[in-house]
Amino acid sequence: MTLYAAYGTNLDPARMSERCPHSPLSTVGWLQGWRLTFGGEEHGWDGALSTLVEDPIDQVFVAVYDVSREDESQLDGWEAADSGLYRKTKVRVATMTGSLVAWTYVLDAYEGGLPSASYLGVLADAAEAADAPADYVAALRMRPCRSIGQ
């Protein structure tokens, strides 16, 4: 088993149990020194895709899953890591019981572009399902988004 830090739609425990049925939720925490952003608009079917960039004054809420090897391979497919769209990187997660090292996916494209309103809604719903703080969820819902037909 290996630890995976989910920050996007995989924050939702129900979604992860479908995608990775052998990989239980371990804990939640924060990636301190990272910022949630969007990029690769040319790769998304509905606007820019979520990703992380280092930022010394920001933090991102994550759910940490204990992922089996079999599920890791499936998750790579779901997240297009097997095609090179996302790459894996190791991050340090601050939790209530201490710090731990996990891997996460980072978009291999330039930052910029806007996500769709529906994608932001899915991200916010996933954060809410993972018990993210209400202000974090509200900030996701209030982010700028792509207009229809843009």
Instruction: State the pTM of this model.
Output: 0.92
Q: Tell me the mean pLDDT in the region 104-109.
A: 92
Tokens of 101: 């090292």
Kindly tell me the number of DSSP H helices and DSSP E strands found in the chain.
4, 5
Q: How many whole angstroms separate alpha carbon 105 and alpha carbon 121?
A: 20
| 69-104 tens-digit pLDDT | 999 999 988 888 878 788 999 999 999 999 999 999
Residues 113-141 have pLDDT tens digits of 899 999 999 999 999 999 999 999 999 99
* Mean pLDDT estimate for the chain: 91
Asked if pLDDT for residue 149 goes beyond 60, the answer is no
Q: Which CATH class is domain 2-141?
A: alpha beta
- The stretches of the chain forming alpha helices (DSSP H) are 13-19, 69-78, 117-129, 134-141
Q: What is the pLDDT of residue 111?
A: 87
- Residue 46 DSSP one-character state: S
In this structure, how many other beta carbons lie within 10 angstroms of the beta carbon of residue 47?
A: 20
CA geometry: angle 115, 41, 128, nearest 5 deg = 30
